[in-house]
Amino acid sequence: MKTIEDLGDLRGKRVLVRADLNVPLDGTTITDDGRVRAAVPTIKKLVDAGAKVVVAAHLGRPKGAPEAKYSLAPVATRLGELLGTTVTLAEDTVGESARATVAALGDGEVALLENIRFDARETSKDEAERASLADDLAALADAFVSDGFGVVHRKQASVYDVALKLPAAVGGLVLTEVEALRRATDDPERPYAVVLGGSKVSDKLGVIANLLGKADRLLIGGGMVFTFLAAKGHAVGTSLLEEDQIETVKGYLATAEERGVEIVLPTDVVVADSFAADAPHDVVPADAMPEGRMGLDIGPESAELFRSKLLDARTIVWNGPMGVFEFDAFAAGTRAVAQAMVDAGEQGAFSIVGGGDSAAAVRRLGFDEGGFGHISTGGGASLEFLEGKELPGIAVLEQNRTEA
């Protein structure tokens, strides 16, 4: 892949940067600015090179038309604060305001286009429609830099199609992500342990299947663990359960045994009367969950078990929390996994936090991000990478096309 350096002298050039600024909002307040902070180094590099920087990004899931609640206005403000400069927000994506905003840019200045998903062509399945938006984006720039790792698994106009129409390069964030994930997938140092959590087994079917041929240990927690426990014949009360995946999970357990891959399941579970921060709760054996109660975290014995399975690992990948970490009463399992990864890192292990809720948990629970080898900004993209899928936004850069 070409890097920013391969684009040559960028002074006075208009550079379109596809960033991932899809941050969580409470009204107009950003509750976790991790993705904005992650976008800053590449943008600052271009600013320092004298480029006119035009940033494209999305927020939320608007339905192809402007919606005030999905405006990037709060993001423009925060990005400007982090860059120490004004970031002008265009009032549209590629329309009159966008063209005027870009035309007014001076060298080293930054503009942000309004939510790219306000244009239905961005996510269209019709290649001609996407290409049309890509043409409009390309008219605003002289070069393209792909730096939104959280969207490189999407074949969308601002991610894929525009890279076919401009000299294109990978940004520092995406390059770091790819290098880190390849380190964990191409030839990982062993023992190689993967921690999977989150709500649904169905979200991680592909990654589990792929890792059964690569990892030494799979540690399973979160809501998805109850489908594993059910597959082993245990009752799971009112816990989250995907009954239609039980047979699939039985197959995974059999395959793991055949291949010598250790699957580590919780031995105890924190169960509660309801899904609420103040719900009455206690710890029960994982194979003796009572009727009418739901599991919301792995238990303390399991936390110690998981820790022991991580401390001697040399490569660790974690995707998905162990419980409902947003509620303090059910955050201990997630905290234990994060702490074990930090401690393993101090002994030389390389660790990856696979974006999404796991990255949010690291920040919410107060961990120093420097204690992990790499914290991904893209949960879905990192999962698909671990599945072994081709990511369109990476593949198009590896084609090294510079012209339409």
- Is 307 in contact with 334 (CB distance < 8 Å)? no
Does 326 belong to an annotated binding site? Answer: yes
131-161 core/surface letters (b: 16 or more CB in 10 A; e: else): bbbbbbbbebbbbbbbbbbbbbbbbbbbbbb
SS3 155: coil
Report how far apart, in Å, the C-alpha atoms of 394 and of each of 154, 219, 295, 376 are. 10, 29, 38, 15
Q: Which residues contact 118 (CB under 8 A, 6 or more apart)?
A: 62, 64, 65, 66, 67, 70, 92, 93
Does 117 belong to an annotated binding site? Answer: yes
Cα–Cα dist 309/91, whole Å: 51
Does 358 belong to an annotated binding site? Answer: yes
Does 58 belong to an annotated binding site? Answer: yes
Q: Which amino acid is at 404?
A: A
Does 400 belong to an annotated binding site? Answer: no
Cα–Cα dist 177/378, whole Å: 9
Q: Which amino acid is at 54?
A: V
Cα–Cα dist 104/368, whole Å: 40
Does 378 belong to an annotated binding site? Answer: no
Does 217 belong to an annotated binding site? Answer: no
Show which residues are catalytic.
35, 200, 356, 380
Does 356 belong to an annotated binding site? Answer: yes
Cα–Cα dist 388/256, whole Å: 18
Q: How far is it between the farthest Cα atoms of the chain?
A: 67
Does 61 belong to an annotated binding site? Answer: yes
Q: Which amino acid is at 335?
A: R
Q: Which residues are registered as beta bridge partners of 270?
A: 283, 297
Binding residues for (2R)-3-phosphoglycerate: 35, 117, 154
Report the binding-site residues: 20-22, 35, 58-61, 117, 154, 204, 295, 326, 355-358
Query: Residues within the annotated binding site for ATP?
Result: 204, 295, 326, 355-358
